[in-house]
Amino acid sequence: MDVRSTAYISPFLVFHSILIGSNVTMKKALCIFLSCIALIIVACTPRSAGILRPGIVQIGPTDRALHSPIWSPDGKMIATTSITNVQSWTSEIYIVELSTNIIRSIEKTDYGNLEAQSWSPDGKSIAFVSQRGGDWPEGIWVTDLNGVHRKQFITEGYDVAWSPDGNSMAVFSTTIEDGDETRTLSILDLTTMSKRVIFSGMGKYSTAIGLTWSPDGTKLMFSFGKQEYDVSPRFPNIDVYVIDISTGESVIITNKDVNLDPTWSPAGKLIAYIRNTAGHFDPKLTISNVDGSCPQQITNIAWSTDWSPDGRKIAFENGGNIYVMALSEFLGYDLLEKGLLCSDVEK
């Protein structure tokens, strides 16, 4: 088997993740797959040589088709997930020890899809999502860092983020009624297991992904898009939303293109996200102020961002490999400390 053919499947998986929770038919899934073929061909060209430069290092192995890096709260580890589709969907969740670059597996499925999505604030557990059937019922699960203790099923859903205080989780779920998809964002109280809905978006086709809490735990940020017709490219516009937890009021902080996987800086002054032009394959790691103003492109061909706990680095995926970027090489320490990229407030 050509390792590169599995390692560079991840760009397609990012587009595929738009459909998570939608229960699409096989015919519709096939149409979407064919529309992505051109992107996969482009994505199969190795890009590591173009990514590596002063300030960027590659971590973990290069033969696992890794994606979705998430930092541990102490900044010493990164959890990441591999996924391949040879005879069936298979996936594995790994922990990379940054001091040694040693990788170890904590969860694996030979059928279905797992994805690590959020660390507990104490760094002892990881929340992951099970999709497409397999060894666990679909939904949100929690496991320890050794993967040996009993896994705990939490709730139905396809995207999850642990709150900074550890007392709740933000969860996205989906329902389909009369041909319309509704994406629902709820706050799950981990003591009472009660849910409170704070956002709901509906469309003939819709997507809502990339949950992240503000450092003070008062807001959530995510990507949402919808459309009423099955046209190509699917979702020509996906925006980043910020919602107040207490009031449910939301604001849109982007105004064009496809904007995915937002993440807050630990100081709460900047955000990072992936901006991609609809119908093209040009995902750009972008950093802006928290209101979306002054966006600056940091690097090309990047997916799955996550900010380090000290705010000095960003982890991202490119071509099935995980990279860590030292932001001081690209923004400078002054900008990181002040949290402002420019004085112009226009988006």
3-338: which CATH topology?
Answer: Neuraminidase (2.120.10)
pLDDT of residue 110: 75
Mean pLDDT of all residues in 105-113: 83
Q: In three state form, how does the secondary structure of the chain look?
A: CCHHHHHCCHHHHHHHHHHCCCCCCHHHHHHHHHHCHHHHHHHCCCCHHHHCCCCEEEECCCCCCEEEEEECCCCCEEEEEEEEECCCEEEEEEEEECCCCEEEEEEEECCEEEEEEEECCCCCEEEEEEEEEECCCCEEEEEECCCCCCCEEEECCCEEEECCCCCEEEEEEEEEECCEEEEEEEEEECCCCCEEEEEEEEECEEEEEEEEECCCCCEEEEEEEEECCCCCCCCCCEEEEEEECCCCCEEECCCCCEEEEEEECCCCCEEEEEEECCCCCCCEEEEEECCCCCCEEEEECCEEEEECCCCCEEEEEECCEEEEEEHHHCCCHHHHHHCCCCCCCCC
Q: How confident is the model at residue 128 (pLDDT cuts 50, 70, 90)?
A: very high
Instruction: Calculate the average pLDDT of the chain.
Output: 79
**pTM across the whole model:** 0.81
pLDDT of residue 336: 56
Domain coordinates in residue numbering, the chain: 3-338
pLDDT surpassing 90 at residue 316: yes
pLDDT tens digits, residue range 183-229? 999 999 999 999 999 999 887 778 888 999 999 999 999 999 887 76
pLDDT tens digits, residue range 156-188? 999 999 999 999 999 999 888 887 888 999 999
pLDDT of residue 41: 33
pLDDT surpassing 60 at residue 345: no
pLDDT surpassing 70 at residue 46: no
